[in-house]
Structure 1
Amino acid sequence: MTTEELRYLQRLAELYPTIGKASTEIINLQSILNLPKGTEHFLSDIHGEYQAFSHVLRNGSGAVRKKVDDVFGHTLSNQDKRSLATLIYYPKEKIELVKKQEEDMENWYKITLYRLIEVCKTTASKYTRSKVRKALPADYAYVIEELITEKAEVLDKEAYYDAIVETIIQIGRAENFIIALCELIQRLVVDHLHILGDIYDRGPGPHFIMDRLMSYHSLDIQWGNHDVVWMGAAAGQQACIATVIRNSVRYGNLDILEDGYGINMMPLAAFAMEAYRDDPCIAFSGISSPSNYNAMEKEYSRKMHKAIAVIQFKLEGQLIMNHPDFDMEDRLLLHRIHPEKGTITLPDGKEYPLLDNCFPTVDWTHPYQLTKEEQTVMERLTSGFVNCAKLQQHMRFLLDKGGLYRVYNGNLLFHGSIPLNEDGSFKKVQIYGNIYKGKALYDTLESYARRAFYELDDKELEKSRDILWYIWAAPNSPLFGKDKMTTFERYYIEDPGTHQENKNAYYRLLENEKVVDHILEEFGLDGAEGRIINGHVPVHQLEGENPVKCGGKVIVIDGGFSKAYRKITGIAGYTLIYNSYGLALTAHEPFTSAEDAVIREQDIVSNRVAVHYTSRRRLVGDTDNGKALKERISELKWLLEAYRRGIIKEKK
């Protein structure tokens, strides 16, 4: 035994100081290995749609209803099972509704408690008692444990449980207890949550989503390009700040910044009304301005929209010129404008008329330079983002729980793509003078993203912050995955051909098994068993596109949570469930409101399709956690041998 090995065993002995304790832990860990693997829940491209996200989280993409069906089968009507499932999703709201309709509430309490207890028993059965105990609500932990645990020593079990339930009702705690049981079922139905990017932008509630995720029991997050641009804004990168504000104005979501994060938009509003006071800014009407905006508010919105867009184009131009290795010279467009003609010549050499030729803040001799007033606006906005405690808290959570990719239980999870050449080989990408590809590109970009918040050297800090914008918009970014971002063209040029954004070869090669296997092997997975799960590009179900590709080796789960995408997807999002029996993909109907879900008992699970079922039920021992537990068992057996040979002395 080496000195290092002995030192490690001595440290392990501090945790398990006797043969008895080490042996007990081996037995405990071995029992865990033989339990069914926990259910994993995958969501992607939520885009601020908090209400729909909250509902899918509550129902576990149908996992809760399946548990209800498993427990009651044909012993309850479909209506009763639907009512019970709705109660589990929205216990407080459902109880209030029932109280208005039910005459004998005591009887309803009793029936409901027994039904919830049965669902709880089944849901908890795949976990150790210790894990269930940790999930129990503190106020009712002892009582719930008594109700869901089989007690062999109790001869008259029915009378025993009746007495507990009757007491709960008599002391007026039935409603609180029902709520506690419902929340426990929600907690136990999903063991681990994967968010595959794009929490932010488009929808009105990303800050509420972040609050909810911060209280979730177990999760990881793969950053999306829309999350990274918010990270850049929080880090003080001004092109990212301008982009975040422009997106918020465009989708009518300035409330997120002003009310959600307390960032003052008045400096921008005052500047926009002055600089563009004679400009109707018609091309900047936005695509989803709140319907309750009056004429003046709409005018403010248009002018702010144009003001921040022009600032964004200038700041992006500065970045591109400062970093020629970003290879984005074709996005330098302001100097290509012919103001006297009202046209622009794009890099392809073609000249197009502009829909808007009013540029009062552009100096045509230095088109990418901010005016003094624009600089002042950006300084104040930057201060607002950098000093917003709640935004910083949310971004640090993304850093703590997130990354650009993750390998988990045989699946490779990421938001966007792997930059590929047309022949399927990994594309070589230059980052600050060095060449990276495949996994190394992901690792390098993630390292820079983290340094944007922690780097102490000013020069390296600026480079790291600029990389966050690169990840958002660059053609070689794995999170963007297109040849260019045509924001300018969509505002200023009518010809739809100029709006085209061509996808990376990755998206054309997803049905090529050799390419997919090569990607999986690059990230340490077996090409025969592994899978890629990602989002980013909506699946066009209306056009017959299948989210399951390459014989099930690739699953794309962006189905249009965002309302802006539903016209092209035909649904309101995909989610994926991976339990001990296999993988199942769920397509969701549009979510209307929590009120409809409670009153009409409407769920939004529309269609569940098996992607892959295992020949035998997968156990904890088959998972990544199982591998770690097996290693621990091996180490503990080694410790036992050291105790028995007298190499290490027990501490009784």
Structure 2
Amino acid sequence: MDYEKIESDRNGFSTLELKHLNLLAEKFPTVQAASTEIINLEAILNLPKGTEHFLTDIHGAYETFSHVLRNASGMVRKKIDAVYQYSLDEKTKRQLATLIYYPEEKLEIITKKEEDLESWYSVTLHRLIEVARVSADKYSRSKVRKAMPEDFAYVIDELLYEHGAKKEQYFNSIIKSIIDVGRANHFIVAISKFIQRLLIDRLHVIGDVFDRGPHADQVMDLIHNHYSVDIQWGNHDIFWMAAASGIRASIAGVIRVSARYDNLDTLEDSYGINLLPLATFAMRVYEGDPCEAFIPVNTPPENIGSTHVKLISKMHKAIMVIEEKLIGEIVQRCPEMHMEDRLLLNKINYEKGTITIDGRELKLTDTNFPTIDPNNPYELSPEEKELAEKLRFSFLNCERLQRHVKTLFSKGSTFLTYNSNLLYHGCIPLDANGDFKEVTLHDKKYKGKALCEQFDLVSRRAYYNRERPEKRNKDRDYMWYLWCGADSPLFGKKKMATFERYFLDDKEAQYEESNKYYKLRDDKETCVRILEEFGLDPEKSHIINGHVPVKVGKGESPVKAEGRLFVIDGGMSKPYQKVTGIAGYTLIYDSYSLILAEHAPFESRRNAIQEEHDIVSIRSMIERSTDRIMVGDTDDGVHIKSQIADLNRLLEAYQRGVVKVKSA
């Protein structure tokens, strides 16, 4: 008989609960400690919720992304205006804002020009403290302290909370001491970054960090080091994640897309991927081939004949052919993917230079395929096999890339529900009738939320078994599928017409039909069903989506389904700005409202610092609550309430004597 269990049940505590409470008692060893924590947590529940910022489709646009974080999507300037709307002129406010965005760089300029530097320091420090004070006013003192830079935490705490007529001399003496001991520059940098941090309590990145733009690695460094961020994977992200997992088709595809946008520097210089074997192979095999369809996009006409462009074009074609062969291996191995239409190399008539697609014989624009055996078109040549393995080794052993991909896994997922919002990059696959589409993975059918969860699980297994390719091989295939599969929630089109874009001049063949989701996402009832599928109340919840650029210039609105869904891909990356007409959106969710900030193109970091040119943003109120949203109303509030309940049980256990007080 289990006497221990009987005894604990008699006192109103199960054995399992007592184990938990004894562990909790290690952290809160006395009645006083537990009581104090309950008081603190109860107080936090009654504070306003922190401000969330939602961004998507960064595509390597580091300078723009960095600036949007630095200016908190315009919130820094809003705080400056709140304090100094009538007391400072526009030029002074612009300089103060730029100093907060880029303190190190701006200080270097100002300190060289300013004649009375001590007076400037004194005035500027007072102004920065005021901006910091209004930025911190809705947070607990404990939370503000945690956000403070360690070197100046005590000083900032004193300046924020001890200001007043009775302590003005004390306040001024602190400012003077900072200047006298030569720490003014360091303090300005510290408090500027402190302000930036206060104005973004939580950052949500709704996918597609990679591709198109030149500095995805620097974007990932920011995300890796960010204090509070989550990521919903985009199809471009999973492509790089699959490449880092050693999936050869994905490796070839990542290199191809990088070559297409003349962005191989990210691979070579930023990640140290050795592309010399590819360059050597391409120059020899495609010698004399102009590779016209493979000239990087947006190449100026005067550069087309350059040695650089010629080399990139040949590398581009060489890796594209390899990618098609490797895709063929996966598609033939996985008939359940229903991607037979992507088996195109065997549909080419190599003598006639044509291909048959959907019963139509079409003329190829390029017929030079020196590495393809018409009798076995998906077999890699011996040189291609060797090259594919060298590239795989480089990707698997790139320390920086692996660190960034681990960040995508640790901070990311296929979707997220957070504070009554459903976040995902692409879509929730729907069938022709608008119902959740069933998709087979590992011989089981999944749909809706379960499908997203299963793809998430598959991807994690594929990555963490990357050194054991024989282990769960189908996981690796499904991870690749997320990039371009018809029923991938990260992609959402019937096909990715890669081959057709390169080798055919036929719009019908190049057409990529979107999933039914994209026709129905403007329908309120569809969005209601999706929210309910993910366990959210459709009356107060929203879907936040990216992936498909909003054609603002053509009058398209990012607000869909009567306000149930927001598409916030506004073209942060320059290649998309011709489509969108703007340079990105930020959705801002504070304690009162949902605000959509529409950003104009960012000129450059240099202009922002030297000319004090900020991103011009148009802010539109989408929703406003009459009652302020408090921490107690959020997901964090649910967690805090659970902690309070546990602590109350610990107090009860202390009072009944079933858990020993750990110290006097």
Taking structure 2 as the reference length, what is the TM-score of the superposition? 0.95
Q: Which residue identity does 2:437 align to in structure 1?
A: K
Q: Which residue of 2 aligns with 1:132?
A: 144
2:427 is the counterpart of 1:417: yes
- Separation in structure 1 between the aligned mates of residue 494 and residue 549 of structure 2, nearest angstrom: 18
Q: Which residue of 2 aligns with 1:402?
A: 412
Worse-superposed segment, 591-600 or 551-560: 591-600
Residue 56 (structure 1) aligned to one of 68, 73, 81: 68
Q: Which runs of 4+ in 1 moved over 3 A?
A: 288-294, 455-461
Q: Map Cα deviations across residues 196-239 of structure 1 (whole Å, 9 max, x no partner).
A: 11000010000111111111111111111000010111110000
Residue 306 (structure 2) aligned to one of 295, 303, 307: 295
- Separation in structure 2 between the aligned mates of residue 70 and residue 460 of structure 1, nearest angstrom: 59
Shift of 1:476: 0.6
Q: Which residue of 1 aligns with 2:598?
A: 587
Q: Which residue of 1 aligns with 2:259?
A: 249
Mapping 1:415-564, distance limit 5 Å: 415-455=425-465, 458-564=469-575
Q: Which residue identity does 1:188 align to in structure 2?
A: L
Residue 353 (structure 1) aligned to one of 346, 351, 363: 363
CA contact (8 A) 1:250 1:288 kept: no
Shift of 1:519: 0.6
2:245 is the counterpart of 1:217: no
2:193 is the counterpart of 1:148: no
Shift of 1:422: 3.2
Q: Which residue of 1 aligns with 2:8?
A: none
Q: Which residue of 1 aligns with 2:6?
A: none
Q: Which residue of 1 aligns with 2:643?
A: 632
Shift of 1:179: 1.1
Q: Which residue identity does 1:240 align to in structure 2?
A: S
Residue 18 (structure 1) aligned to one of 15, 30, 33: 30
- Separation in structure 2 between the aligned mates of residue 554 and residue 332 of structure 1, nearest angstrom: 36
Worse-superposed segment, 135-144 or 247-256: 135-144
2:48 is the counterpart of 1:40: no
Residue 580 (structure 2) aligned to one of 562, 569, 584: 569
- Structure 2 SS opposite 1:418: coil
Q: Map Cα deviations across residues 474-505 of structure 1 (whole Å, 9 max, x no partner).
A: 00101010010011111111122222111111
Shift of 1:17: 1.8
Q: Which residue identity does 1:569 align to in structure 2?
A: T
Worse-superposed segment, 587-596 or 70-79: 70-79
CA contact (8 A) 1:482 1:504 kept: yes
CA contact (8 A) 1:250 1:289 kept: no
Q: Which residue of 1 aligns with 2:270?
A: 260
- Structure 1 SS opposite 2:423: strand
- Structure 2 SS opposite 1:87: helix
Q: Which residue of 1 aligns with 2:126?
A: 114
Q: Structure 2: which 5+ residue stretches go unaligned?
A: 1-11
Shift of 1:293: 8.3
2:172 is the counterpart of 1:162: yes
CA 1:105–1:82 in 2, change beyond 3 Å: closer, same or farther? same
Worse-superposed segment, 94-103 or 137-146: 94-103
- Separation in structure 2 between the aligned mates of residue 605 and residue 633 of structure 1, nearest angstrom: 44
Q: Which residue identity does 1:50 align to in structure 2?
A: Y
- Separation in structure 2 between the aligned mates of residue 188 and residue 542 of structure 1, nearest angstrom: 34
Shift of 1:289: 4.5
- Separation in structure 2 between the aligned mates of residue 309 and residue 131 of structure 1, nearest angstrom: 51
Q: Which residue of 2 aligns with 1:173?
A: 183
- Structure 2 SS opposite 1:156: helix
- Structure 2 SS opposite 1:558: coil
Q: Which residue of 2 aligns with 1:76?
A: 88
Q: Which residue identity does 1:639 align to in structure 2?
A: L
Worse-superposed segment, 478-487 or 64-73: 64-73
- Separation in structure 2 between the aligned mates of residue 361 and residue 18 of structure 1, nearest angstrom: 75
CA contact (8 A) 2:125 2:188 kept: yes
Give me the CA root mean square deviation: 1.6
2:657 is the counterpart of 1:646: yes
- Structure 2 SS opposite 1:201: coil
2:243 is the counterpart of 1:205: no
Q: Which residue of 1 aligns with 2:4?
A: none
Shift of 1:294: 7.0
Shift of 1:642: 2.3
- Separation in structure 2 between the aligned mates of residue 451 and residue 570 of structure 1, nearest angstrom: 40
Q: Which residue identity does 1:128 align to in structure 2?
A: S
CA contact (8 A) 1:586 1:605 kept: no
CA contact (8 A) 2:296 2:309 kept: no
CA contact (8 A) 1:202 1:251 kept: yes
Q: Which residue of 1 aligns with 2:198?
A: 188
- Identity, in percent, stands at 53
Q: Map Cα deviations across residues 368-406 of structure 1 (whole Å, 9 max, x no partner).
A: 111011111111111100111111111111111111111
Shift of 1:171: 1.9
Q: Structure 1: which 5+ residue stretches go unaligned?
A: none
Q: Which residue of 2 aligns with 1:363?
A: 373
Q: Which residue identity does 2:245 align to in structure 1?
A: A
- Separation in structure 2 between the aligned mates of residue 512 and residue 357 of structure 1, nearest angstrom: 45
Q: Which residue of 2 aligns with 1:392?
A: 402
CA 1:498–1:378 in 2, change beyond 3 Å: closer, same or farther? same
- Structure 1 SS opposite 2:71: helix
Shift of 1:457: 6.5
- Separation in structure 2 between the aligned mates of residue 457 and residue 146 of structure 1, nearest angstrom: 55
Worse-superposed segment, 428-437 or 201-210: 428-437
CA contact (8 A) 2:98 2:612 kept: yes
- Separation in structure 1 between the aligned mates of residue 153 and residue 565 of structure 2, nearest angstrom: 42
CA 1:293–1:115 in 2, change beyond 3 Å: closer, same or farther? farther
Q: Which residue of 1 aligns with 2:630?
A: 619
CA contact (8 A) 1:483 1:501 kept: yes
